[in-house]
Amino acid sequence: MFSPKAQRLLNGESFVSREPGNSMVPKIYSRQPVLLTPANWSEVQKGDIVYCKVRGNFYTHLVLAINPDRGCLIGNNKGRVNGWTKNVHGKVKEVLPMDYAG
């Protein structure tokens, strides 16, 4: 099952999202707008921020490593590792200012 955001990305749509939480500070602050664009795990690189599913949960997190067999190792910006996934649906193309109104 896909989240509504994952479904939009799978449909080829780019959009602005505001993810809650502080696990990506200072790269992204809680509810800071980001532009998500469609991407899959084979298109991203270490250091990219992606929208993905790991063990049933959807995250906007960092790609810590890439492995051709396992996919992307995903973690936050505080040192937590969430695990390996090939369920990458999108990538943060741009972190927008907090006062972004669009």
Q: Is the pLDDT of residue 14 over 80?
A: yes
Contact 62, 76 (CB under 8 A): yes
- Where residue 78 falls among pLDDT bands split at 50, 70, 90? very high
Mean model confidence pLDDT for the chain = 95
Residue 98 pLDDT class (50, 70, 90 cuts): very high
* Structure confidence at residue 55 (pLDDT): 84
Output the CA–CA distances (angstroms, integers) from residue 84 to 17, 43, 53, 92, in the order listed: 23, 15, 10, 19
The more confident residue out of 18 and 54 is 18
Q: How confident is the model at residue 66, as a pLDDT?
A: 98
pLDDT in the model for residue 52:
94
- Cβ atoms of residues 28 and 51 within 8 Å: no
Give 29-73 pLDDT, tens digit per residue: 999 999 999 999 999 999 999 999 988 889 899 999 999 999 999
